[in-house]
């Protein structure tokens, strides 16, 4: 019998402000969401359901202003499932290939469902006959502690294209966690998604990332739309608990535009400080009341094109670098990382043209 995790706005954690030092503050006791994820994940690890045992990963902060968090995870590079052949950002779901309907049912931790204060599950808009569910299962090739996969109703066989529901639950998952080190992300097809079945990743990384407080430029602040001013170039949204549905809808307008234009993209969701215009004091800069949602449009990557050191996907663009081999882990510099990532970003003229197109698109919607 699959466990049910029913939640409401009452379960959102109001703030996870930073402590001193390089690590986010750890909540004691953890929120019930964290307790469920961590207990379920550890249980599956102890039962041998993973492709390898994930111990404490060697970690170092690369010297330089960007504070890249490098980790050595050789086994993930060697033993993860072979990625599917992706030929298009709009590729259709193929039931013959691996998908999350084919997993061992023991890998499922629980099903998430949004409820009212009384605990009754709310229906998904457009599917009024049944509540919408998010299945949470362990990633059997984990990149960090608690690495899990969020799959919106696997039986619907949705391709790897974001929906408003998926974005909303991704944001809400970060708000449900009392640990500011809990992150959620998404790789589109052509941006190192390895399975063409709609899913997001979630995991814990208890090191601060530059993206949590990176400076931004307002593009359309009334829509919560900003441009990140530091490398790598991308867009940013910010949502506190009462804004989740509105921001998720706007983000989906952006990702739909990118899919329609065949532009690959990665998303990364993390607790972060409010963007410019909403910061009043130093305390606000350390605040983690809301969620920062970064979107990086990028050059599409199809076929077996992989870097030897690390692939450039959601966590690498956010500043977390899981290295595949010890030599690169020990020798790679901040400049090396920048040079690798730069190869996957849109040229400046294309990025600025897209920025204007998205701004106009959101203004007219």
* Active-site annotation, residues: 199
Q: At what angle do helices 348-364 and 244-260 cross, to 10 degrees?
A: 130
d(CA 44, CA 137): 10
Instruction: Locate 130 and state its tokens.
Output: 């049944």
Residue 224's region, left for phi above 0, alpha for psi from -120 to 50, else beta, is: left
Cβ neighbours, 10 Å, residue 304: 8
- 36 three-class SS: helix
What are the residues whose beta carbons fall under 8 Å from the beta carbon of 237, sequence distance 6 or more?
224, 225, 226, 247, 250, 251, 292, 293, 295
Instruction: Locate 108 and state its tokens.
Output: 């499922």
- 70 three-class SS: strand
Specify the length of the chain in residues. 365
Sign of the dihedral through C-alpha 83, 85, 90, 96? negative
**267: which strand partners?**
186, 295
As to burial, measured by CB atoms within 10 angstroms (0-12 exposed, 13-18 middle, 19+ buried), residue 85 is exposed
């Amino acid at each position: 019998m699959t466990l049910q995790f029913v939640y409401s706005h009452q379960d959102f954690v109001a703030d996870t402000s930073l402590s001193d030092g390089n690590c986010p503050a750890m909540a004691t006791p953890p929120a019930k969401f964290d307790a469920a994820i961590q207990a379920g994940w550890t249980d599956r690890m102890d039962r041998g359901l993973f492709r390898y045992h994930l111990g404490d990963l060697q970690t170092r902060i690369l010297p330089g202003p960007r504070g890249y968090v490098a980790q050595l995870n050789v086994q993930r590079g060697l033993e993860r499932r072979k990625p599917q052949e992706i030929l298009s950002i709009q590729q259709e779901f193929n039931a013959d290939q691996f998908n999350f309907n084919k997993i061992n049912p023991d890998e499922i931790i629980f099903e998430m469902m949004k409820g009212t204060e009384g605990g009754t599950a709310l229906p998904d808009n457009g599917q009024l006959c049944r509540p919408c569910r998010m299945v949470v299962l362990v990633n059997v090739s984990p990149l960090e502690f608690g690495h899990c996969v969020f799959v919106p109703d696997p039986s619907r066989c949705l391709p790897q294209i974001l929906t408003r529901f998926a974005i909303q639950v991704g944001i809400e998952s970060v708000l449900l966690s009392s640990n500011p080190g809990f992150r959620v992300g998404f790789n589109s097809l052509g941006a190192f998604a390895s399975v063409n079945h709609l899913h997001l990743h979630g995991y814990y990384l208890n090191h601060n990332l530059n993206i949590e407080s990176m400076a931004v430029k307002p593009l359309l602040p009334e829509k919560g739309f900003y441009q990140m001013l530091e490398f790598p170039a991308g867009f940013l949204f910010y949502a506190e608990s009462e804004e989740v549905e509105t921001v998720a809808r706007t983000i989906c307008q952006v990702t739909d535009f990118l899919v329609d234009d065949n532009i690959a993209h990665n998303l990364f969701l993390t607790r972060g400080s409010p963007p410019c215009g909403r910061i009043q004091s130093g305390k606000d800069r350390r605040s983690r009341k809301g969620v920062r949602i970064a979107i990086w449009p990028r050059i599409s990557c199809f076929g077996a094109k992989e870097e030897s050191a690390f692939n450039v996907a959601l966590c690498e663009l956010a500043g977390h670098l899981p290295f595949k081999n010890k030599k690169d882990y020990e020798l790679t510099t901040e400049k090396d990382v920048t040079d690798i990532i730069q190869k996957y970003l849109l040229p400046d003229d294309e990025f600025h043209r897209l920025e204007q197109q998205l701004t106009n698109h959101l203004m007219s919607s």
